[in-house]
């Protein structure tokens, strides 16, 4: 039950590029150069199964697989445009996590930003 609630705000992997592009439109200042999807990483977890109140049995455990779905987003814009986009990612109801940002200025004030990010999903196994 707790895993299901947590997963409600995870993005379906096939919707990841569309959601990233939608947030770009909302930010207004960035230009999309490219979105590259990468192979997911998998982690095995053990999670307790929710029980009804009043049951005296010890918690049962269920194996769950957590998947990280990686993407590389390349955009062009100003520093402030990139900062606003990162703020939109953070405020989004969807669960985006970013691991690195490469910011390269060749023609001030416009820069190319390469963002490595990922989202999560659960798979019972």
**Tokens read off for 21:** 């592009």
Q: How confident is the model at residue 7 (pLDDT cuts 50, 70, 90)?
A: low
Apex 9 CA angle, 33 and 102, nearest 5 = 30
User: What CA–CA distance (Å, rounded) separates 125 from 120?
Assistant: 16
Among 106, 64, 115, smallest CA distance to 88 is for 115
The 10s digit of each residue's pLDDT in 13-53 is: 778 888 888 888 888 889 999 999 888 888 777 766 655 55
How many angstroms separate the Cα of 62 from the Cα of each of 40, 45, 54, 65? 22, 8, 20, 10
pTM of structure: 0.73
**Tokens read off for 6:** 């947590």
What does 67-98 look like in DSSP terms, one character per residue? Answer: EEEEEEEEEEE-HHHHHHHHHHHHHSSS--EE
Helix (H, G, I), strand (E, B) or coil at 44: strand
- pLDDT value at residue 20: 85
């Amino acid at each position: 039950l707790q895993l299901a609630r947590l997963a409600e705000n995870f993005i379906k992997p096939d919707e990841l590029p569309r959601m990233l592009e939608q947030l770009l439109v909302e930010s207004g200042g960035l230009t999309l150069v490219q979105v590259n999807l990468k192979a997911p990483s998998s982690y095995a977890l053990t999670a307790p199964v929710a029980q009804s109140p009043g049951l005296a049995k010890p918690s049962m455990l269920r194996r769950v697989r957590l998947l990280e779905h990686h993407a590389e987003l390349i955009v062009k814009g100003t520093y402030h445009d990139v900062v606003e986009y990162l703020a939109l990612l953070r405020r989004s109801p969807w669960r985006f996590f970013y691991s690195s940002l490469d910011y390269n200025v060749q023609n001030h004030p416009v820069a190319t930003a390469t963002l490595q990010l990922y989202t999560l999903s659960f798979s019972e196994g």
